[in-house]
Amino acid sequence: MTSSYNIIGLWQAWLNSGNLLLSAIAVLIYAIGVMIVIAIFSYMFGWAERKIIAKIQHRHGPTYVGKYGILQNLADLIKLLSKENIVPSNANLRLMQLSVIFILSASTFLVLILPFAHSLQVANFGTGLLIVFVFISFMPLAVFVGGVSSGNKFGHISAQRSVLMLLSYELPMVLVVAAAAMLSGSFNIQQVVLTQASRGYFALLMPIGFVIFFIAMLAEFERPPFDIREADSELISGWLTDFSSPYYALVLFIDYTRMFLGSLLVAIIFLGGWSGPVLPGPVWLIFKATLVALFTIIIRATTVRMRIDRMLRLGWMWLLPLSLINLILTYIIFVA
């Protein structure tokens, strides 16, 4: 234990040394570590999703490659990478690539700036929460660009839906985050976690906000029942229809990365982040994020996809007023 804390201490010393080179090396090491965590989580999440859904559907799921089919996703990945990349003639390849790369880098960056423990964070921004949600709001636009530039009509429809969805859930989500910031008295993410350690989890303090945020997160990261953008049975794959081989593999990876980001956000803002007894902070955080992610798998296996106009109605008729009520109640009960 002590040795690991020493390493973190050394890392922190480098990070805060004021020497540009040393700080850059420290950030790089941290980023590589975070990428490894993301990769492991994505891989395990992909496998768990297949297995759990298979169990719910009375199937076996992957069984042949590796023990309990654990290497199946790796095999799929190799298969996808070894295939030819087919680009439709009227697609704009550069923009397509750019959209995917933007989403990937944005979500990775956001995971990077989230605190895994009190001392484990690259940069402790005073406006951390705002930065996170600014980047998240840009993701549907990247989806829009990807959908339109793929030159596929299903992609076009998907792109339109992407913007419509943005209208429906973005505002409630930000209002809930505002309530969380109000509770902790700061936009600093560390502060949000520390407040939860002293006052109790925000999920308990403002349950309405928690539910709204969870729904908005599902919508944001294209999880069922809000997988309207890439609705399999209608739009084939929506904006992803014309992505092939390595880019499709990348897109699948992005899906899981965003899932990880979403679960982390729920865990940090509402479930107390790294705080927990006995075990070290990062373990607690990843444990909580995993629980949230597993819950979304169960939702995926059991619900019907929503329709885009119903989604808008849900957003404006329910989520927005409720998030306002949540904000006001939070103010009256906890702040005033």
d(CA 261, CA 273) in angstroms, rounded, equals 13
Q: Tokens in use for 33?
A: 């570590």
Other beta carbons within 10 Å of 207: 12
DSSP state letters, 141-187: HHHHHHHHHTT-HHHHHHHHHHHHHHHHHHHHHHHHHHHHHHHHTSS
Task: Give the residue carrying structure tokens 């891989």.
Answer: 43
Which of 48, 77, 141, 236 lies at the binding interface for other proteins (CB under 8 A)? 236
CB of 210 to other proteins, least distance (A): 20
Site mask, other proteins, residues 291-320, x = CB under 8 A?
Answer: ---------xxxxxxxxxxx----------
Residue 59 as a binder of other proteins (CB under 8 A): the answer is yes
Task: Give the residue carrying structure tokens 């719910």.
Answer: 56
Residue 67 as a binder of other proteins (CB under 8 A): the answer is no
> Which CB atom, from 243 or from 284, has the smaller least distance to other proteins?
243
Report how many residues bind other proteins under the rule CB under 8 A.
Answer: 33
**Angle between the 153-184 and 189-199 helix axes, to the nearest 10 degrees?**
60
CB of 271 to other proteins, least distance (A): 26
18 conformational bin, left if phi > 0, alpha if psi -120 to 50, beta if neither? left
Which of 16, 57, 63, 85 lies at the binding interface for other proteins (CB under 8 A)? 57
> Which CB atom, from 44 or from 163, has the smaller least distance to other proteins?
163
CB of 166 to other proteins, least distance (A): 15
List residues binding other proteins (CB under 8 A): 53, 56-59, 153-154, 156-157, 160-161, 164, 224-225, 227-228, 231-236, 300-310
